[in-house]
Chains A and B, each alone.
Chain A
């Protein structure tokens, strides 16, 4: 397998020291692994998303697909569609409308293959006191009631804010997370080392760690996945909302927008002056969460009333 590697490399360019070093690292790890099979080794030696050639990426995807097929007993498509031109995704959420029903939370779970056990929710719906306003110290995300909204409360769902200056990206020691040109902050699940710096850095609690092997019932798996988004993930790495990259890069609304029964969630292209998101930003009372941190989220909260 190592030979194949250097063949493809030398086919493109003369073997540089960098490639040599990579090869050397490969050999060392191979020795260290001992009895590991070729696929495991290939997984271990997989390059960073940005450094893979087209062929290497295709190979990696093929490997992932076969891995998933084996694990979940169904064919899972891993897509790697790039960003669209002239697109900068933005999100707006109408706090006057949200009733805290958590439909979005579970639509997200299903769409994005979130681990059911140990449970991860990319969206956290906070119940806040109308009297206290947006005061996170008094937020409660465990509310349960016969019906919502509850008297005297309002609701604020929080997920990744896809900041313009993402502190998580800055803190990652291995560049496993970055901001795509269309504004989506993504993670390469095969590059993350699970150090959790990004979790400490994120002011929005948007990043979640796979504390154990993520369990998803095979019959509930979403087979339409993206490499940088909802493909099944691993134990020991961090994951987060990707604005449903597998949908939005195909022109679809994110799953949470589709499900929201009160239409509180708005999504679109910030660069399109006629998008509903631009309209909301220009005509409504808008705020961003923790503005003082200068993270400049692309996720806006607004009041339509």
Chain B
């Protein structure tokens, strides 16, 4: 009997994801196209090696790892929603938490994909499996990251699947099961981003990252960028589905983002003060980031653009009038998203490597192949998210449950 319910569920899911309106098919088609292009680019990279990227010995991590870092932040930011929803029983957010957790799941999937495309021998990745391979734990931070990210992925999948399946079955959640998991997910969310920060932070060879402020800064910027994506997604969902998402909930998230953006800027200021006032040799990296060194100025526009975005977005979120106006709110979201994306994707990693440990300056900007692969991975993430949302929303809205396993195709996403 239980089995048949599962079969019903799976069949229902299948129906849900294959049916949709023209916009849905167009969106999926677009994503699939990008994925195919991305796969093509990856095949090329596998064939020739990472020489198809613009990374070199001098700048040995770059765009992929930057994206990875950014997405770990997005995934961690689900915690912002989990805390108030589960703990304060705060109505406006609770119903949309599940969407945040789905975002976390798809982000972690993207993270793992970005790491996979970044490594030179992906077929040897089994070397990292504990007991089977030779995971260098606890010494290696990447080993930590590998463990925490996978745990976090599993945890979120379990939480989301449990809640959705229970809702589908018209059953009450077992609080004794789900609450401890949610509680565990909170430090996990903090730790995935902390461990990722430590991955850079622990490298004494790279003074740009070797600062205690890095992990807190990571968390703050994550609490800006993660919710920014979510705010946009929530508004899209509100328009395209019947899901009721209250303005109040959106504004509350925006308010939390304002705090995070402030702390992020403050920490940034503290870092800039320390570097410029003490003026040691380590200033070189900030110098490269903001002013360039000699004729090497490739990263300078990115650094200023990111700073501009972060400050403007902070102002937009801080002032109640602009926070509560959806037009300016969305501009703020876009700005903070781009600000943090540029910061994590470009101006965190690259100045860390430029100049390199022997003083050489190699000006990195991503190659076309890198961009295509990254676009492909983002498409996978969006695809996974779209599919999961397509299933989750009818369940949340009570339109897809055990007594009504096939939803009429008029419910669109």
**A-side interface residues toward B, CB under 8 Å?**
18, 21-22, 24-25, 29, 44, 48, 51, 118, 120, 124, 126, 135-139, 141, 158, 167, 170-176, 191-197, 199-205, 207-213, 234-238, 293-295
Contacts and interface: CB of A to CB of B under 8 A. Distances in A.
Contacts of A207: 57
Contact of B136 (A51, A158, A173): A173
Given A204-B357, A211-B55, A236-B49, 10 more contacts: A136-B357, A167-B203, A167-B204, A200-B200, A200-B353, A205-B57, A205-B360, A209-B60, A211-B53, A236-B50
20 contacts: A118-B51, A136-B355, A136-B359, A137-B355, A139-B360, A158-B358, A170-B140, A171-B202, A175-B134, A195-B120, A197-B199, A199-B61, A200-B200, A200-B203, A205-B58, A205-B358, A210-B49, A210-B120, A211-B55, A211-B56
A97 B355 CA distance: 28
B336 interface: no
A193 B128 contact: yes
Consensus secondary structure, chain A interface = loop
A235 B142 contact: no
Interface string B123-166: 11111110111111001111100100000000000000000000
A187 B92 CA distance: 55
B205 A200 contact: yes
A223 B242 CA distance: 71
A139 B355 CA distance: 11
**What 4 A-B pairs come out closest when comparing CB atoms?**
A194-B120, A236-B120, A203-B205, A136-B359
A6 to B, nearest CB: 15
Contacts, number: 166
B128 A173 contact: yes
A6 B323 CA distance: 65
Interface of B: 48-51, 53, 55-58, 60-61, 115, 118-129, 131-136, 139-143, 146, 199-200, 202-206, 281, 284, 352-353, 355-360
A158 B199 CA distance: 25
Given A167-B205, A193-B124, A235 B49 contact: yes
Contact of B356 (A205, A212, A234, A293): A205
Contacts of B203: 167, 171, 200-201
Contacts of A208: 57
A155 B171 CA distance: 75
A48 B134 contact: yes
Contacts of A174: 124, 127-128, 133-136
Contacts of A18: 131-132
Contacts of A48: 127, 133-134
Nearest to A158: B358
B135 A191 contact: no
Given A124-B358, A209-B120, A195 B142 contact: yes
B51 A211 contact: yes
A172 to B, nearest CB: 6
A22 B135 contact: no
B204 A293 contact: yes
A170 B56 CA distance: 22
Contacts of A171: 139-142, 202-203
A233 B405 CA distance: 56
A202 B205 contact: yes
B61 A196 contact: yes
B136 A212 contact: no
A216 to B, nearest CB: 15
Contacts of B136: 172-175
A175 to B, nearest CB: 4
Nearest to B123: A44
Contacts of B202: 171
Contacts of B129: 25
Contacts of A167: 203-205
A202 B58 CA distance: 11
A96 B355 CA distance: 27
Contact of B358 (A139, A172, A176, A200): A139
A141 B135 contact: no
A23 B356 CA distance: 42
A120 B115 CA distance: 24
A294 B193 CA distance: 27
